[in-house]
Amino acid sequence: MAAFSILALAAVAQCPDCWLAADGPDIVQSSTGEPVVLRGVGLGYWLLQENYMMHPQGCEGCPDNQWQMKRQYLQEGQSMAQVEAFYANWRSRFITRGDIEDIANMGFNCVRLPMHYELFLTAEQRAMRNAVILGGGSAHDAYKDALAGWVAEGSIAATTDLDGFQHIDDLIEWCAEFGLWISLDMHAAPGSQGVTLGITDGFYPNNLWEYPVFQDVLVEIWDAISDRYRDESRIAMYEFINEPNSVPGGGPAIRDLTQRLITMVRDKGDEHLIGVHGNGYSNVYDNMLPQDFSPNWGLVYHAHRYWIDPQDDAIPNGNPNVINRMVDLVQFRQTHQVPIWVSETGENNNEWMAANIDAMEAAGVGWCHWTWKRHDVFQNAALNRIGGNYPTDGTSAMNTVLAFIHHNQIIPNPDTRVAIGADLPAPGSSGCTSDADNCAPPIGSTISLQGFHGEYVNTNGGNGDMTCDSAQVGPDNLFVLEEAGDGRVTLRGNNGRYVSSNNGVEAMTCDRFDVDAWERFSWVELPDGRVALRADHGQYASSNNGQEAMRCDRDTAFEWESFGATVESPCPCRSVGDVNCDGVVGFSDVLAVLAKWGACPNCFEDVNQDGAVEFSDVLNLLANWGGCPN
């Protein structure tokens, strides 16, 4: 297993000047010349959904990439505006400051951002691309023509309010706070840079190489990225084209486009490192050697290591320009005096991943684990997994999917963390299992909610503010969980009225006769098996530790916003005298009522729920004597 403690030595939070440069086979800090080994985490699945991440167990007719996922939503009745709104929410929730803080706390010193080129298009331009989803070939021809027109008029990536820039800006802010570098990776290039459309979200394979307009668009986007971030030292490098594969024309075609991009960037004085990606999924560098580029300073060659037999790692491939085996990688680095970064590795068993990192660390080769989080019901090779519904479960699951992708809901994969050397404790719960029912709210059940401090949520009969201060469960602590549509729930109190968030402006109450937006909540399952309630306005319900009235005004779900949900046993006749819920109104119930005689707020023995156990309760009980009515 890798000695992961050395990651702390490469932290950049204290560096006054974070610019990186290439010096022979090393990446170095420009101001000091000290070597820097980049050890990172890929943020895959954030700005681009890959197929296996959406349905890790596979399914018949599953979407094979992001645009096909959009097509499924459209075919299930969503409008394109609704689909785009879903993806905007996905991107705003998937990676947050909390994710970056956790990555830094684990000891990593960089993150890799896989980007989709469409995020650098305007909404109107993206609508033309979306039209291809249902329009097919003719719509694709119209889209290519439109792209050519936009290139000619200079409107590609021309404004700073585009989604792509906003997400990069956010990431720079978070990474600056926690001392991380960033590698910008064009994961889905215009037209698709290969034949694996599940990676590139392409409509057709290899259109990047077959239609010049797509290369023009790529150049325009990187031109705009360079203009915006030319002086940003937190960005370690630009990766112009991720994983070209089965490219018509092979290395020369990739070299020519890469050279065009290098020239463009260097001519404007941009000194960022440039990540070079070869054919064969970033591993084959025929006709792409350092002497094939000019200028060729600041180049970092990339390798992607997946499922390489450890025995083969020491056997040369036979082509010295194929560098995914360690023996060839090290020799290429030494021969050509260029740094190599393994910008993707992982997606394997834990034994392989641990040995793989040991081998890279021994050779002084930086690496980036793929990936931070993805969907699954079991532990997987990501550092974390996402519970709940998969995107491929369709429109009925869209809100649940959005709830579970947030940082607060991720479930660590402890074995993966150990395999890559992160010394973190196992999570308190494995979260969702293969039984989908364990990941869903118990609709139709009567539940109680216990705060983290041990006391129960109390409606107080709908008279005033809700609190979380009951030592035991009584009528005012029971709720019927009802479906509210769009994956949300409502909570109906024992008084027959609904819980309201009051939009976070006032304390929560249980006094609403009808359900509207303020009475709808997302049921969020937390990694430790507890739940949180997120209101329609996006904030969480808080117990306030039982010290104040409950409010729905917390941006994140911590201890006070987590609840233990207990499904209560059915007791249909409690309201007519079956106090002990044994299915019969009888003598034992009389004894229970007499034992509580007098003032008795929030107790089941108060059959008519008037706040006191008295003669009227006995009469109610006697009127229903015998077997519990149906």
The better pLDDT of the pair 272, 104 is held by 272
What distance in Å separates the CA atoms of residue 458 and residue 200, rounded to the nearest whole number? 51
Cα gap 305→283, rounded to integer Å: 9
What is the number of other CB atoms lying within 10 angstroms of the CB of residue 622?
11
- Identify the pLDDT of residue 440: 61
Over residues 17-37, mean pLDDT: 90
What does the pLDDT read at residue 60?
Answer: 86
pLDDT at 580 over 80: no
- Mean pLDDT confidence for 21-32: 92
What pLDDT shows up at residue 438?
A: 34
CATH number of the domain located at residue range(s) 4-121+157-431 in this protein: 3.20.20.80
Cis peptide before 295 (omega within 30 of 0): yes
Strands (DSSP E) along 281-383, which ranges?
Answer: 299-305, 340-346, 366-370, 373-375
Cα–Cα distance measured from residue 501 to residue 517, given in angstroms and rounded to the nearest whole number: 9
pLDDT recorded at residue 553: 92
What's the mean pLDDT in 371-379?
Answer: 94
For the entire predicted model, the pTM comes to: 0.69
Q: pLDDT tens for residues 425-483? A: 233 222 222 233 334 678 888 899 999 999 999 999 899 999 999 988 888 889 989 98
- Quick one: average pLDDT of 528-535? 84
**pLDDT for 2:** 36
Residue 629's pLDDT band, with cuts at 50, 70 and 90, is low
CATH class as words, domain 441-567:
mainly beta
Annotated domain spans of the chain: 4-121+157-431, 441-567, 574-627
pLDDT average, residue stretch 473-502: 89
Residue 514, both tokens: 């009808």
As a whole number, mean pLDDT of residues 255-268 equals 98
Mean pLDDT calculated for residue range 279-303 = 98
**C-alpha to C-alpha distance for 330 and 346, rounded to whole angstroms:** 19
* Residues in CB range of 115: below 8 A, 6 or more apart: 47, 48, 164, 184, 185, 186, 187, 188
pLDDT at 420 over 90: no
- Three-state SS sequence of 512-564: ECCCCHHHCEEEEECCCCCEEEEECCCCEEECHHHCCCCEEEECCCCHHHCEE
Strand extents, DSSP E, 180-279:
181-188, 235-239, 273-276
Residue 15 in this model has a pLDDT that exceeds 50:
no
Q: Can you give the pLDDT at residue 528?
A: 64
pLDDT band at residue 3 under the 50/70/90 scheme? very low
pLDDT at position 96, please? 96
Top CATH class, 574-627 = mainly alpha
Provide the token pair at 175: 């990474």
Say which range, 12-26, 79-93, 376-390, has the weakest mean pLDDT: 12-26
| Stretch among 78-82, 198-202, 469-473 having the lowest mean pLDDT | 469-473
For residue 371, whether the previous peptide bond is cis, meaning omega lies within 30 degrees of 0, is: yes
pLDDT of residue 324: 94
Structure confidence by residue, pLDDT tens digits, 127-159: 999 999 999 899 999 999 999 999 999 999 999
Across the chain, mean pLDDT equals: 89
Other CB atoms within 10 A of residue 263 CB:
14
pLDDT over 90 (residue 50): yes
> What pLDDT does residue 285 have?
98
- 3-state secondary structure (DSSP) of residue 117: helix
pLDDT value at residue 527: 58
pLDDT of residue 203: 98
- CA separation for the pair 38, 345 (Å, rounded): 13
Say how far apart CA 87 and CA 78 lie, in whole Å: 13
Q: Residue 107's pLDDT is what? A: 87
Q: Is 575 buried (19+), middle (13-18) or exposed (0-12) by CB count in 10 A? A: middle
Among residues 569, 568, 538, 565, which one has the least CA distance to residue 554? 538
Dihedral class, residue 460 (left if φ above 0, else alpha if ψ from -120 to 50, else beta)? left
CA angle 9–14–20, rounded 5-degree value: 75
pLDDT at 27 over 80: yes
Q: Which of 120-129, 368-377, 565-574 has the lowest mean pLDDT?
A: 565-574
